[in-house]
Amino acid sequence: MHPSFTAKLSAEAYRTLTALVYQHSRIRLGPDKQSMLANRLRKRLHALGLTCYDDYCQVLHSDRGPDEIEQLVDLISTNHTRFFREPEHFTFLTDRVLPDLVTRLTAAGSPLRVWSAAASSGEEPYTLAIVLAEYFRTHPPVEWQIEASDISHRMLAHARMGIYPLDTWHELAPDLLRRYFQRGVGDRAGKCRIKAELRNRVRFHRLNLFEAEYPVPREQHVIFCRNVMIYFDPPSRAILVQKLTRHLAQGGFLVIGHSESLMGIRHDLESVRQSVFRKP
Ligand SMILES: C[S@@+](CC[C@H](N)C(=O)[O-])C[C@H]1O[C@@H](n2cnc3c(N)ncnc32)[C@H](O)[C@@H]1O
């Protein structure tokens, strides 16, 4: 950071920035996030050759605004994730969803469609791909495809590469590691990569969950939209659940994070168990 950078983020500039972030992504930044935002933005201001946050607000209101707001949302969003996070959801998929669903799809000759709607750096959609690949090792296969989307270009670039630090190996059972990952060599030593055959099962999209139209096929059988609703206010959650419901096939499942809930939100889904809902 440039040593002369001493600008302070004023309350007014903070209000402007949080309003723009909300307008664009529905992410609500409370008053406690002011110093986090100032810290994360400092490098960006420097990269743009700016010396104060007010000038940055002007950039956001200029012709460059639409591109810059994406950078801003990228900077402030929380991307924490990991393989097999909240593992009960994957067990539920294998034990309770797939047996019946796959029987019906086989009879109808239809493909299985699964969507990870806040995919971050890819661990969630690749976990889904591993779970499906494992299931079809011992069951008659149907065609299957995973869609994965996120608002963050930076996270999507990471996810598409499918390269993770080697400590990822410790989170996964050794037979899964052998089957679905390759160890990096040379300048990729210390890293592992999802094997191409599994990577090719996952189609990545840049998608803002509040866009009018989603570039993802409808009639999804399972949608994982986990650990993103916590950043949205109740009216935004209600809009999101309605939009996701429209993308579910009849009888399809919506899975949200364990710490999230649809309480107080009007929706047309039936509750199956904590954090799992079904379109009747
Ligand atoms: C904490 S991560 C969750 C990752 C994964 N679903 C999990 O549970 O491990 C939240 C992700 O939501 C994305 N996100 C935030 N607002 C979004 C929006 N309006 N549209 C699409 N993605 C959004 C962020 O970029 C981030 O990668």
Q: Could you read off the pLDDT of 185-233 as tens digits, one per residue? A: 898 888 999 999 999 999 999 999 999 999 999 999 999 999 999 999 9
Mean predicted lDDT score pLDDT of the chain: 94
Is residue 40 annotated as part of the catalytic site, yes or no?
Answer: yes
Terminal Cα-to-Cα distance of the chain (whole angstroms): 54
Distance CA 135, CA 152 (A): 30
State the Cα–Cα distance between residues 112 and 132, nearest whole angstrom.
Answer: 10
4 confidence band (pLDDT: 50, 70, 90): low
**What does pTM read for this prediction?**
0.94
225 C-alpha to center of ligand 1: Å? Answer: 8
Strand arrangement of the beta sheet that strand 163-165 belongs to: 163-165, 191-194, 181-183
Rounded to 10°, the helix 98-108/123-138 angle is: 70
User: How many angstroms does the Cα of residue 81 sit away from the middle of ligand 1?
Assistant: 9
Architecture of domain 88-164+194-278: 3-Layer(aba) Sandwich (3.40)
Distance 107 CA to ligand 1 centre (A): 35
Stretch (H or E) spanning 91: helix 88-92
Ligand 1 site residues (CB inside 6 A) read: 25-27, 77-81, 85, 118, 120, 124, 150-152, 155, 207-210, 226-228, 231, 257
What pLDDT does 6 receive? 72
CATH class for the region spanning 11-76: mainly alpha
Q: Specify the pairing of strand 163-165 against strand 191-194.
A: antiparallel
- pLDDT exceeds cutoff 70 at 11: yes
Q: Which atom of ligand 1 is nearest to the CA of 24?
A: 19
The 3-class SS string of 203-251 reads: EEEECCCCCCCCCCCCCEEEEECCCCHHHCCHHHHHHHHHHHHHCEEEE
Selected catalytic residue, list 74, 85, 150, 201 = 150
Predicted confidence band of residue 3 (pLDDT cuts 50, 70, 90) = low
Q: Where are the domains of the chain?
A: 11-76, 88-164+194-278
**Helix (H) and strand (E) counts for the chain?**
11, 10
Share of the chain above pLDDT 70, in %: 97
Does 1 score more than 90 pLDDT?
A: no
Q: Which pLDDT value is given to residue 166?
A: 82
